[in-house]
Every structure is written in C-alpha cells, then in structure tokens.
Amino acid sequence: MANMTWFVLASTLIAALAMALGVMLPALAMGRSISQALDALARQPEAEQAITRTLFIGLAMIESLAIYVLVIVLIILFRNPLMPYLLK
Amino acid sequence: MANMTWFVLASTLIAALAMALGVMLPALAMGRSISQALDALARQPEAEQAITRTLFIGLAMIESLAIYVLVIVLIILFRNPLMPYLLK
Amino acid sequence: MANMTWFVLASTLIAALAMALGVMLPALAMGRSISQALDALARQPEAEQAITRTLFIGLAMIESLAIYVLVIVLIILFRNPLMPYLLK
Amino acid sequence: MANMTWFVLASTLIAALAMALGVMLPALAMGRSISQALDALARQPEAEQAITRTLFIGLAMIESLAIYVLVIVLIILFRNPLMPYLLK
Amino acid sequence: MANMTWFVLASTLIAALAMALGVMLPALAMGRSISQALDALARQPEAEQAITRTLFIGLAMIESLAIYVLVIVLIILFRNPLMPYLLK
Amino acid sequence: MANMTWFVLASTLIAALAMALGVMLPALAMGRSISQALDALARQPEAEQAITRTLFIGLAMIESLAIYVLVIVLIILFRNPLMPYLLK
Amino acid sequence: MANMTWFVLASTLIAALAMALGVMLPALAMGRSISQALDALARQPEAEQAITRTLFIGLAMIESLAIYVLVIVLIILFRNPLMPYLLK
Amino acid sequence: MANMTWFVLASTLIAALAMALGVMLPALAMGRSISQALDALARQPEAEQAITRTLFIGLAMIESLAIYVLVIVLIILFRNPLMPYLLK
Amino acid sequence: MANMTWFVLASTLIAALAMALGVMLPALAMGRSISQALDALARQPEAEQAITRTLFIGLAMIESLAIYVLVIVLIILFRNPLMPYLLK
Amino acid sequence: MANMTWFVLASTLIAALAMALGVMLPALAMGRSISQALDALARQPEAEQAITRTLFIGLAMIESLAIYVLVIVLIILFRNPLMPYLLK
Amino acid sequence: MANMTWFVLASTLIAALAMALGVMLPALAMGRSISQALDALARQPEAEQAITRTLFIGLAMIESLAIYVLVIVLIILFRNPLMPYLLK
Amino acid sequence: MANMTWFVLASTLIAALAMALGVMLPALAMGRSISQALDALARQPEAEQAITRTLFIGLAMIESLAIYVLVIVLIILFRNPLMPYLLK
Amino acid sequence: MANMTWFVLASTLIAALAMALGVMLPALAMGRSISQALDALARQPEAEQAITRTLFIGLAMIESLAIYVLVIVLIILFRNPLMPYLLK
Amino acid sequence: MANMTWFVLASTLIAALAMALGVMLPALAMGRSISQALDALARQPEAEQAITRTLFIGLAMIESLAIYVLVIVLIILFRNPLMPYLLK
C-alpha cells in the first residue's frame, strides 16, 4: 500500500476518534455546570443575573477546550503542515 | 486488497463508532441537566421561566458538542477532503 | 476473500455494535430524568404540568442523540455513500 | 473457508453480543425509574395516578431504545440488505 | 477444520456468553427495584397494594429485556435463519 | 486436533465460565434485596409479613435469571442441539 | 500434544478459575446482608428473631448460587458428559 | 516440551492465582461485616451477645466460600482426578 | 515505507490524540469549579466579586495546563526540534 | 529451554504475584475494620473491651485468608507436590 | 529503518503522551482546590485573605508537579542527555 | 539466551513489580485507619490512649501484610529455593 | 538495531512515562489536602497558624514522594549505574 | 542482542515503573491523613498536640511503605544480588 494511503487512512480515523473523545468530558462538565446553575436558580431566584452571567462565561471556557480539539482535527483534515514532507 | 477498499472500510467503521461514542457523554450530561431542572421545578415552581430558559440554552450547548462529532462524521462519509490524494 | 465480502462483514458488525453502544448512555440518561421527574411529582404534585412538559422535551432531546446513531447505522446498512467507489 | 461462512459466523456472533449489550443499560435505567416510582408512591400515595402514568410513558421510551437494537439484530439475522452483494 | 465445525463452535460459545452477560444488568435492576419496594413498604405499609402492583409490572418489563436475549440465544441454538446458506 | 476435540474443549470452558459470570450480578442483587429487607424489618417490625412475602417473590425472580444461565449451560453440556451437525 | 492433554489442561484451569470468580460476588452479597443484619439488630434488638430468620434464608439463597458454580466445576472435574466423545 | 510439563506448569500457576483471587472478595466482605458489627456494638452495647453471635455465623459462611476455592486448589495440586488420563 | 512517512503518520496521530486526552480532565476541573462558584453565588450573593475573581484566576490556571498540551502539540506539528536529525 | 527452567521461572513469578495480589484486599478489609473500631471507640469509650475483642477476632479471621495464600505460595516455592512428575 | 528514526519517533510520541497524561490529575486537583476555596469564601467571606493566600500557594505546588513533567518533556525534545551515545 | 539469563531477568522484574503492587493497598488501609484515628481524637480527646493503642496494633497488623510480600521478594532475590534445580 | 539504541529509546520512554505517572496521585493528594485546609480555614479562621503549618509539612511529605520518582528518572537519564556494563 | 543488554534494559524500565507505581497509593493515603488532620484541627484546636503527633507517626509508617519500594529499586539499580550469575 502506498505511503499516501496510510496517511489518508490514519488521518481520517484519528480525526473522528479524537473529536469523539474530545467532546466527552467537556460535555460532562457542561452538564454539571448547568445542573448546578439550575439548582442555584431554584434556591436564590433573585440572583438570576449573576448566576446566568457566570454560567455563560464558564460554558464558553469549557467550550474553548472542545474547540482546541476541533481546531487540531480540522488542521489535520484540511491543512496538515507535515503533508509537504510526504508529497516530496 | 486495493487501497480504496481499505479506505472505504475504515471510514465506515470509524463513522459508526465515533457517532456512538460521541453521543455517550452528551446524553449523560443532558440527563443530568434535565433531572436537575425537574428538581428545581419541584422546589421553586414560580421560577419556572428562568429555569426552563437556562435549561434550553444549556441543552443547546451540549447538543452543539454532539453536532461537532456528527459534522466530522458526515464530512468523512460524504466529502472527505483527503480523498483526492487517494484517487490520484 | 473478495473486497466486497470484507465490506459487507465490517458493515454488519459495526452496525450492530454501534447501535448497542449508542443506546447505552441515552438509556441511562432517560432513566435518570424519569426517576427525577417521579421524585419531583411526589414532592410537588400541583406542578405536574410543568414537570411532565419539561420531562417530555428533555426525553425528546436525549432520544434525538440515539436517533443520530440510528441514522448513521441505517445509512451504513442501506445507502453507504462510499460504496460506489468500491463497486468500481 | 468460503466467504459465506465468514458472513454467517460474524452475523450470528454479533447478533447475540449486540442484544446482550443492548439490554444492559436500558435494564439499569428501568430499575432506576421503577425504584424511584416506588419511593414516590411511598411518600405521596395520593399522587399514584400521575406517578404511574409518568412511569409507564418513561418505561416505554426506554424500551424503545432496546427495541432499536432488537430491530437491527433481527434485520441482520433475517433480512440483511447487504447480503445480495455477497451472493453475486 | 470444516466450516460447519466453526459454526457450531461459535454458536455454542456465544450462546452461553450472551446469556451470562444478558442477565447481569437486569438482575441488578431487579435487585434495585425490589430493595426499594421493601423500603417503601416499611415507610408506608398501607400503600402495599399500589407498591406491589407497580413492582410486579416493573419486574415484568425488566424480565422482558432478559427474555429478548434468551429468545435470540434460542434462535441461534435451535433455528438459526442463516444456517441454510451454510449447508448449501 | 480433531473437530470433536475443539468442540468438547470449548463447551467445557464456556460452561464453567458462563456459570461463574452468570451468578455474579444475581448474587449482588440478592444481597441488596436481603439487606434492604433487614433494614425494613428493623424499621417496621409489624409489616414483617408483607416484607418477607415481597422479598421471597423478588428473590425467586432474580433466581430465575440465574436459572436461565444454568439451563443454557446444561443444554450445552448434555444436549447441544447443534452436535448432530458435527457428528455427520 | 495429544487431544487428551489439552482437555485435561483446560479443565483444570477453568475449574480453578471459575470457582475463584464464582465465589466473588456471592461473598460480597453475603457481607452486605450480614452487615445490614447487624445494623438492624443494633437498631431493633427486640426483632432479633425475624431478622436472623430472614438473614439465614437469604444467606442460603446466595449460597445456592455459589453451589451452582461448584456443581458445574465438580461435573467438569469428575464426570464430564462430553468426555466419551473424546475417548472414542 | 512434554505433556506432563505443561500440566505441572499450568496447575501450579492456576493454583496460586485462583487462591489469590478467591480470597479477595471474601476478605472485603469480612471487613464490611466486622466494621458494621463494631458500629453496632458502639450504638447498642447491651445487644453484644446477639451481635457477636450473628457476626460469627456470618463470618463462618463467608469463610466457607473461601474454603471452596481452597478445596478446589488442593484437589488440583494433590489429587487431580483427571491426571490418570494424562499418565496413560 | 520511508522513514519520513512513519514520522508524519505518528506525529499526526499523537497530536490529535494528545489534544483530546489533554482537555479531558481540565474540562472536568473547570466544570467542578464553575458549578461550585454557582453554588457559592446562590448561598452568598453579596460575595459575588470575591467569588468571580477567585473563579477566573482558577480557570486561568487550569486553562494553562491545557495550554501546555496545546503548545507541545503545536511544536510537534509545526516545529519539531528533532526533525533535522531525520532529514539528514 | 529445558522443562525445569520453565517450571522454576513460572513458580517464581506466580509466587511473588500471588502474594502481592493476595494481601491487597485483606489489607483493605483490615483498614476498614480498624477505622470503624476507632470510630466506635470515640463514640462509646466505655465499650472498649467488647470492641477490641471483636476487632482482634475479626482481624485474625481476615489474616487467615492472607495466610491461605501464603501457604499456597510457600508450598509452590518449597514443596510442590507436582514436582516429582517433572523430575521423572 | 535507521536507529535515529526510531529515536525521533519515540521521543515525539512520548513527549505528547506524557504531557497529556501529566496534566490530567493536577488539573483535577486544581479544580478540587478552587471549588473548595469558593465554598469557603461563600461560608466565611471575611476570611478571604487567608483563603486566597492558602489557595495560591497550593495551586503553585500542584503546578510544580505539572512543571516537572513539562521539564522532562522539554529535556527529551530539546536536550536529551542520552543522544550523544546514539550519534556515535 | 541462556536459561540463567531468563531467570535473572524474570526475578528482577517480578521483585520490583510485586513490591510496588504489594504496598499499594496496605498504604491505602493505613491512610484510612490514621485518618479515622485523627477524627476520633478530635471527637473524643480524652480517649486518646485507647485510640492510639488500637491504632498502633492495627497498623502493625497491616504492616505485617506488606512484610509478607517483602519476605517473598527477598527470598526470590537472595535465596530462591528453586535455583539449585536450575544450576544442575 | 544496536544494543545502545534500544537502551537510549527505552530510557527516554520510561523517563517521561514514569514522571507523568508519578505526579498523578501526589497531585490528587495535594488537591485533597489543600481543599480540606481551605475548608478548615472557613470553619475555624482563628486556627489559621496550626492549619497552615500542618498543611505545609504535609505538602512537603507528599512532594517528597514525587521527588523520589524525579530522582530515579534523573538517575536513569543522566547517570545510569548499569550503563558501564552495556558499554563494555 | 546480548544477555547483558536485556538485563540492563529490563532493570532500567522496571526501576522507573515500580517507583512510579509505588508512590501512588502512599501519596493518596498521605493526602487522606493530612486532610483529616486538618479537619480535626478545625474541629478541636485544643487537641493540636495529640493530632499532630498521631499524624506524624502515621505519615512515617506510610512513608516506610514507599521506602520499601525505593530500597528494592535501588538494590536492583546498584547491587542486584543475581547479577553475578549473569556475569559468569
């Protein structure tokens, strides 16, 4: 099998796998934050603004972690900087 | 076995596997958020609006993580950017 | 063994396996949501409507995750977009 | 060994395995819902109707997940859409 | 080794293994439901009828999941629909 | 090694293994039910009859799951329906 | 290596292994039941009779599960019904 | 390597391994029972007799499970009923 | 396969995998911190400033850990210091 | 490699491994019992005698399980009953 | 494949992997400390100074552990003391 | 490779591994006992003597389990009773 | 591949891996101690001195464990006492 | 590869690995003890002396377990008693 074939295969496999693994714990962390925010809302409804503000900043930071993985995956699929070495 | 065969096989396998893995923890996180929302509703029925609003935004953000995986899977199945290198 | 045989075998195996894995955590999440809804009903019977409404929307969103897997599995079994490359 | 033999073997193995895996977490989720329903009944006997109604709808939705697996397993055992490619 | 031998071996192995795996979590779920029912009885003896009724319906639904596995196992041992392809 | 040897070996191994695996979680479930029954007895001694009745029905249902495994194991050891295909 | 050697080896290994696995969770379940019984005795000393009666019946049922494994192990070591096929 | 060598090796390995595995969960179960007994003694010192009686019967039953493993191990090391077939 | 091919393959695989693994526990830690901050807000709304300040410093320190991994991954993908040895 | 070499190697390996595995859970069980005894002492100092008596009997019984493993290990290292078959 | 190639490959792989593994538990530990600090702030706002001082010293010590790993990784990537032996 | 080499290698490996495994759970058990003793001291300072006496006897018994492993490891490293068979 | 190459490779790999593994649980332990110290500060602000003193001694002892690993890793990377045997 | 090379490689690998594994649970145990000591200090500041005395004796005993591993590792690296057999 040619070198290029191996490269395409491996990139495809790892892209899907890394994405699947990479959303796992951010999802869990989001679930935890949201459920705690709902609990906080139920206990202190008048602090709604502070709670939702903190929640959304938090969710954004967790999302950023999943975005790191997405970025690496997209780099690998569309613009792998190591590919020129392979084409030579 | 030809290179193309390997590629088709691997893409098919990883697509199904990644999808199955990728919905796992988002599902768990959703379950957690929903169950906490129900708990909050039972404790503070008059805060229903704030609770359901926060819940739906939260569910949407978790869903977005599962969508990332779905997008990568669909790219692999329908429009793999690395496939032209293989056809050459 | 011919290429087509490998493809049929792998698709059959991964379809069943992915389906089995893919319903696992959605099932758990549903169980959690339902059990919490029952708990909420027992504590606040008069909020029954809000509770069951939230529960059913939640169950639908979790179900949607399992449906993603089902859709990918059915695509693989009935209309795999990569199959034409193999038949050539 | 002929191709057909491999196919029959693999289908038989994965059918039984997927069914066994696929009922695992739905069973757990059912157990959780039922036990919570019993707890709710003990705390709020007069809400029996709402509780059992919610419980049965919930059990049906969890059961539907196990049914998805059963359907895929039966398709594989009795009407595999990929089998014609193999017989050619 | 003849094809038939492989088939008999694999069917025998998977039948026993799937049965053993398939009763695992239903057993756990039953244990959970029963123990909760006993707890409910101790707290609310006068709701005995509603409790045992709900318990038995629940146990039946969990049992049905184990029965699915048993059915697939018996089909594989006694009437495998794929066997004619092998005998040809 | 003759076919029959493989068959005898595999049947012996899987019989013992399946039995050992198959009693695991039923044992745990029984332990859970019994310990809860004892707890219920300590809290509500006058409901002894209802408690022990529910407990014994529950234990019987869990035992039935272990019996399923035992039955499959005994079928494999003494009357395997697939053995005639092997003797031909 | 002769067929008989394989058979003796495999039977010896699986007998010890199955026995070791098979007592694991029954032991845990017993420990749970006994510890709960002791707890119940400390809370309700006057219900001693009902508690110890229930405990001993429960322990006997859990023991029965370990006995199933022991029986299968002894059958394999002393009277394996499949051995005649091997000696022919 | 001669058949007898394999047999001696395998028996030695499995004997030590099975014994080590076989005492694991009985030890845990004993620890649980004893710690609960101590807790019960601290809460209800005057029920000492009933507690220690129940504890010792319980420990004996758990010990019996470890003894089953010990018996099988000693049979394998000193009087393996399958050895005559090997010596022939 | 040439040396360069192996290097490109391995770097691509490990980059995606390390990124996916490396965001896992930071995500969990963030989720925990955020959910606790929300809980703190609900209990002590007037300490909002101290809470959010501490939270953001904490999130930054956790993020720094994920950044370490990202840096190593980017070094490997774009400027691997060991590559010159390979090109010689 | 001669038969005797294999035997010496395997015995040495399994002896150390079995001992290490065999003290694991007894150690945990002891830790649990002791910590519970200390808790009991703190709550009921005047029941010291009953507590320490029960504790020491319990520790002795757990120790006996570790001794079983030690005995089997020493038999294997110093007086393996199966060794004569090997020397013949 | 030349020796140098193996060395470059292995160093690259282990650098990324070790970094990913090495930030895992420090991240968890930080999350725990921060969440506890937030809890402490909510309970005792006037002790803010002592709390944040202790928190930052603690975070620094945990960070130091992650730095150890980073240092080893950077040594391996940029200045491996064992490389001269390889170049000879 | 000569027999003696294998023996030296295997003994060295298993000695270090067994020691590392063998201190694991005793360490955990000690940690548990000590932390409980500290808790007991805080609750009942006047029972210090009984507490520390029980603690030290307990620690000694747990230490004895780790000593068993150390003894077996030292026997293997310095005076392996099976070595004469190898030197012959 | 030359002996020296294997040695350099293995040392590099194990150094990074051991460091990553070796900081894991010390990090967790530190996180636990710090979070408990913060909790203690919140409950008893006036005992700040005793708390921080105990905390820092404790952190130092845990750090010492991580230092052991670091020392062994540095010995392996810079001054392996076994290397002379290899150079001969 | 010469015997000596294998020996040096294996000793180096196991030394680092055993050290890393061997500090894991002692670290956890220390963390537990220290955190409990801090909790005790917060609850009973006047018992500081008894608490810190018990804590330091306990930490020393846990440290001794890690020292056992360190000793075995150093013996293997610097003075392996089995090495003379290899040099002969």
Contact G61 F66 (CB under 8 A): no
Question: Residue G75 above 60 pLDDT?
Answer: yes
Contact list in F for residue G18 (CB cut-off 8 A) is 16-17, 19-20
Q: Of A80, K73, A84, which is closest to residue I16 (Cα–Cα)?
A: A80
Q: Is residue E87 part of a domain?
A: no
The answer to whether residue G44 is domain-embedded is yes
DSSP K4-34: HHHHHHHHHHHHHHHHHHHHHHHHHHHHHHH
> pLDDT (tens digit, 9 = 90+) per residue, H67-85?
999 999 999 999 899 988 8
Average pLDDT of chain K, as a whole number: 91
Nearest CA-CA distance, residue J47 and chain H, Å:
7
pLDDT tens per residue, range D23-82: 999 999 999 999 999 999 999 888 889 999 999 999 999 999 999 999 999 999 998 999
CA–CA min distance B26, chain C (Å): 8
Contact partners, residue I48, CB within 8 Å, separation at least 6: A50, I41
J43 to H38: CB separation less than 8 angstroms, yes or no: no
What is the Cβ-side half-sphere exposure of residue J5, based on CA atoms within 13 angstroms? 14
Q: Are F12 and G11 in contact (CB under 8 A)?
A: yes
L68 reaches J (C-beta below 8 A): yes
Q: Which residues of L touch J6 (CB under 8 A)?
A: none
Q: At N84, is the secondary structure helix, strand, or coil? A: helix
Rounded to whole angstroms, how far apart are CA atoms I32 and K38?
A: 11
Q: Does G1 touch chain H (CB under 8 A)?
A: yes
A52, amino acid identity: T
Terminal Cα-to-Cα distance of chain H (whole angstroms): 17
Chain K touched by I38 (CB under 8 Å): no
Rg of chain I taking only CA atoms, in angstroms: 20
Task: List chain G residues with CB under 8 Å of F12.
Answer: 7, 10-11, 14, 76, 80, 82
* 3 state SS of F80: coil
Distances (CA, A) of D55 to C31, C52, D42, M48: 10, 11, 15, 52
- Neighbouring chains of J at 3+ CB pairs under 8 Å are H, L
Which tokens is C37 given?
């809804």
Residue E16 touches chain D, beta carbons under 8 Å: no
| K46 to chain I: closest CA residue | I47
pLDDT digits (tens, 9 = 90+) for L69-82: 999 999 999 989 99
CA distance readout (Å), B56 to B63, B67, I33, J42: 10, 16, 22, 50
K88 band by pLDDT with thresholds 50, 70 and 90? low
Rounded to a whole number of angstroms, the distance from the CA of H85 to the nearest CA of chain J is 14
pLDDT at A35: 94
Closest CA in chain D for residue C40: D40
Residue A68: per-residue pLDDT: 93
- CA dist M32 and M28 (Å) reads 6
Token readout for D49 is 């109707």
User: Taking the CB of residue B64, how many other CB atoms lie within 10 A of it?
Assistant: 15
First CA to last CA distance, chain N: 17
Query: Interior CA angle at J78 toward J73 and J80, to 5°?
Result: 80
pLDDT at residue F1 is higher than 70: no
G39 — pLDDT class (breaks 50, 70, 90): very high
- pLDDT band for position C1 (cuts 50, 70, 90): low
Which stretch of DSSP H or E encloses residue L53? helix L48-78
pLDDT digits (tens, 9 = 90+) for N72-82: 999 999 989 99
Encoded amino acid at L55, one letter: L
pLDDT, tens digit (0-9, with 9 covering 90-100), for L24-76: 999 999 999 999 999 999 998 888 899 999 999 999 999 999 999 999 999 99
Check CB contact of L66 with chain N, cutoff 8 Å.
yes
Which amino acid appears at position A21 of this protein?
Answer: L
CA distance K70 to E81: 59
The pLDDT assigned to N4 comes to 83
| E50 inside domain | yes
> CB–CB of M19 and K68 under 8 A?
yes
Q: What is the mean pLDDT of residues M49-76?
A: 93
**Domain of residue A62, residue span:** 3-87
Name, in order, each residue with C-beta under 8 angstroms of N29's C-beta and a sequence gap of 6 or more.
Answer: L27, L28, L30, L31, L32, L34, N62
- CA nearest to J5, candidates I55, L9, H86: L9
Tell whether B24 is within 8 A of chain A (Cβ): yes
Residue I88 has pLDDT above 70, yes or no: no
Counted domains in chain N: 1
Look up tokens 């529950």; give the residue.
F58
pLDDT, position N1: 53
J17 inside 8 A of chain H by CB:
yes
Average pLDDT over residues H23-42: 94
Shortest CA distance from A20: residue in chain B: B22
CATH number for the domain that contains residue E62:
1.20.20.10
* Chain H interface includes G57 (CB < 8 A): no
pLDDT tens track for N45-80: 888 899 999 999 999 999 999 999 999 999 999 989
List b or e across B15-41, with b for residues whose CB sees 16 or more CB atoms inside 10 angstroms: bbbbbbbbbbbbbbbbbbbbbbbbbbb
pLDDT, residue K76, reads 93
**Residue M75 predicted with pLDDT over 80:** yes
| One-character DSSP codes across chain I | --HHHHHHHHHHHHHHHHHHHHHHHHHHHHHHHHHHHHHHHHH-GGGHHHHHHHHHHHHHHHHHHHHHHHHHHHHHHH--TTHHHHH-
Nearest to A59 by CA among E62, D67, I59: I59
Write the ipTM.
0.85
CA distance linking residue K37 with residue K43, whole number of Å:
10
Of residues C19, C36, C38, nearest to D51 (C-beta) = C38
Nearest residue on chain B to C12, alpha-carbon basis: B13
Q: Under an 8 A CB cutoff, do K40 and M36 touch?
A: no
Distance CA C62, CA M39 (A): 37
Q: What confidence score (pLDDT) does residue E1 get?
A: 53
Name the residue in chain H with its Cα closest to that of J25.
H24
- DSSP for A11-74, written as a single string: HHHHHHHHHHHHHHHHHHHHHHHHHHHHHHHHH-GGGHHHHHHHHHHHHHHHHHHHHHHHHHHH
The answer to whether B21 and A20 are in contact (CB under 8 A) is yes
Contacts of D among chains (3+ CB pairs under 8 A): C, E
| pLDDT tens profile B31-70 | 999 999 999 999 988 888 999 999 999 999 999 999 999 9
- What residues contact residue G86 under an 8 Å CB cut-off, 6+ apart? F4, F5, F8, G3, G4, G7
